[in-house]
Amino acid sequence: MISNKEIAAIFNLTGEVLTLLDENPFKVRSYFAAAQSIKNYPVPLATLSEDEILKIKGIGKNLLPKVMEIIRTGDLEFLHRKAEKIPDGILELLQIKGLGPKKVKQLWQELGITSPGELLYACYENRLVDLKGFGQKTQEKIQKTLEFYFQNKHKFHYPAAFEYALEIINFLKTKYNLEQIEITGVLRRKCETVKHIDLLVCSEQEVIIENLDFSPIPVNLHYSPPEQKAFRQLITTGSQQHLEKLHLKGFEFAETEEEIYAKNHLPYIPPELRENLFEWELTKNQHPINLIEEKDIKGLVHCHTVWSDGTNTIEEMALAARDKGMEYVVITDHSKSAFYANGLSEERIIQQQKEIKRLNDKNLGIQILSGIEADILPDGSLDYDHNVLQSFDVVIASVHSVLHMDKHKATGRILKAIENPHVHIIGHISGRLLLSRLGYELDYDKIFDACIQNNVILEINANPMRLDIDWKQAGKAREKGVKFSINPDAHNAEGINHIQYGVNTARKAGITPDNVVNCLSADEFKNAIKK
C-alpha cells in the first residue's frame, strides 16, 4: 500500500516539473498545496473512498483522478509526460537538497547548466558568485552538497578516492597495529575514476577487521605474508589483461616487482601503464621507460586570475607557481565570448598585458607570459581578430559553449581551430566532465594529423574532473608524434596542485618528458610552440 508520504512526493515532483516548464503558477501551486496536505493527513489515503479523499483540503475534482491513479499504480502518467520535456540532468538536479525548482530553472536558463556535474564545475569556476539570488555563500553550500552527492554516487574521482584510502590506511594502522598497508588495484594504476579501494595488508597472519562501513567507498582488503609482498602487489594491482600476458608461476617469492618483470625479459613497468594497451610497445626494445614525473614540469600553462573567473591576482598566481618550482607561468584568462566568466574585452587585454609587463619588470623570480583561453565558436573561429591574437605569447583555444554537436561537426570545429595560425594549444579537447558529462565525439585520427601539420599542442587538462584528453587517446596521439602541455587550468593558487593528476594521465598514456612542451625552459617552450 502506498503511503501518504510517497503520494505527496509525486505531487511535489509534479509541481517542480511544472515550475521548470513555466506552467500557470496557480496550477503549480495547487500541486504543492495538495502535496502538503496529503503528507500531513493522519489516515492513509489508500484506505479512503473517493468521496472521503475529495474532502481533504487542496484536493479538488481536478486532482482527484491523479490521486486515485497514484494509489492504483504507484505512478503518475501525467508527470512522466511533462518530465519528458526536461533533460534528465535537470531532473537529477531537483533531487539535490537546497536547490529547488526556481533555482534549478535559473541555472538552466541563465548558465545553461543541465546536470549536477556541470553545476559543480560552475561552482569551481565561481559562476554562481555574481548570479542574482546566489552569491559566494550559496555557491559554497551548493558546492559542498554536490561534492557529497557525487561521493554518494558509487564512483569517485581519483583524488577523493585517494584521500579516503589514506584515511583508511591510517585507521587500520592505528586500530589493528598493522605496519605495512599499500594502495593497490585501480587506485595504484591511477585510473581517473574509482569504484572501490584495494589495499594490500602485509602481515604474518590474517587480521579480522570488523567493519569499514564508515568508508564511503567499498574497500577490498587483500592479505599477503611479508615474503610474498611483491608478488601479491603485482597480482592485486592488475589489470587482469596485463597479468595474463606475464609468466607468474614460480615467482611467488620474488623480492621485488622488478624481479618478476626481469624474469619475463621486461624492464619494470610502472603501475599506471599496466592496462594491456601501451606497455608492450614501449618495452619492446627492453629499455627502461622514462615516464614523465611531476618534477619535470617547468611551466605553469593555463590559469585564470581575477581578470576573468579566477580568485587570485596575476601576481599571486605567479608567486604561487614560483613557490612550486615553476620557471614561468602563462596567464590565460577567458576571452570575450565567455561573458559568464567575465571574459576579456580587447581593451582589458591591453591593460592586462601592461600589468604583466609591470610585474615582469619587478623580477618576481618567475617569468610571466601573456596568454588567453580563447573560445572556439560553434563555426570553429575564435572570438578575436588577428591583431589581438597576435599580441599573446600563447593562445589556448577551447570549446565552452554549444557542447552538443555530432562527431562530424565537432571534429570540423576543432580542426578549424587547429588550422588557425594563431592557435598554439587546444584546451580540454572533448569537453567531458568525469562522472557527469560525456564529451562530444571526435575523429581523433584527423585531429592528431592536423596537430602535427600545424604544430599545435594538445592540452592534457589536469583538472581531476576533466583529465581531458583521455589517456587512451593521448597514448595514440603520442604514437603519432603529437606534443602535449600538461595544464592545471587553475582558477586559484591551490588549483596548481592539479598538475599531478595531469601527470597521472600522461603516464598512463606512456608520455615521457620530451613529449611535453611545458617540461621545457621558457625560451625552449616559446620556441617549441612557434608556428
Give the residue with the Cβ less far from Zn ion, 94 or 318: 318
- Residue 130 CB, shortest distance to Zn ion, in Å, is 18
CA distance 487 to 426: 11
Of the candidate spans 286-294, 378-386, 390-398, 492-500, the one that interacts with Zn ion by CB under 5 A turns out to be 390-398
Minimum CB distance to Zn ion, residue 417 (Å): 13
Min separation Cβ 489 and Zn ion, Å: 4
Tell me if 198 contacts Zn ion by CB under 5 A. no
Q: Does 489 bind Zn ion (CB under 5 A)?
A: yes
**Residue 305 CA: distances (Å) to CA of 308, 347, 375:** 6, 17, 17
| Smaller CB separation from Zn ion, 283 or 332 | 332
Q: Which helix (H) or strand (E) holds 461?
A: strand 457-461
Cβ-based nearer residue to Zn ion, 78 or 124: 124
- Cβ count within 10 A of residue 405: 18
CA dihedral 225, 231, 232, 237 (to 10 degrees): 160
Site residues (CB under 5 A) for Zn ion, limited to 338-377? 373
The dihedrals phi and psi of 223, each to the nearest 5 degrees, come to -110, 150
The amino acid present at 225, given as its one-letter code, is: P
CA distances for 157 relative to 154, 224, 309, 373, 498, angstroms: 10, 28, 23, 25, 13
- Site for Zn ion contains 308 (CB under 5 A): no
CB 305, min distance to Zn ion, A: 11
Q: 56 or 113: whose CB is closer to Zn ion?
A: 113
CA distances from 84 to 60, 94, 115, 299 (A): 26, 14, 15, 48
Beta strand spans in 71-160 (E): 156-157
Least gap, CB of 283 to Zn ion (angstroms): 35
Q: State the distance between the two ends of the chain, measured CA to CA, in whole angstroms.
A: 71
Stretch near Zn ion under the rule CB under 5 A, chosen from 96-104, 150-158, 246-254, 395-403:
395-403
Cα distances (Å, whole numbers) of residue 319 to 106, 322, 364 = 37, 5, 7
- Residue 437 and residue 432: Cα distance in Å, rounded? 5
Contact pick of 14, 30, 398, 485 for Zn ion (by CB under 5 A) = 398
Binding letters toward Zn ion, positions 133-172, x by CB under 5 A: ----------------------------------------
DSSP assignment letter at 317: H
Phi-psi region of 164 (alpha: psi -120 to 50; beta: other; left: phi over 0): alpha
Which is nearer to Zn ion, 199 or 372 (by Cβ)?
372
Q: Name which of 310 and 475 has its Cβ closer to Zn ion.
A: 310
Residue 316 CB, nearest approach to Zn ion (Å): 17
Nearer to Zn ion, 355 or 489 (CB): 489
Site size for Zn ion, by CB under 5 A? Answer: 3
Residue number, 257 or 489, with CB nearest to Zn ion = 489
Residues of this chain that interact with Zn ion (CB under 5 A) are: 373, 398, 489
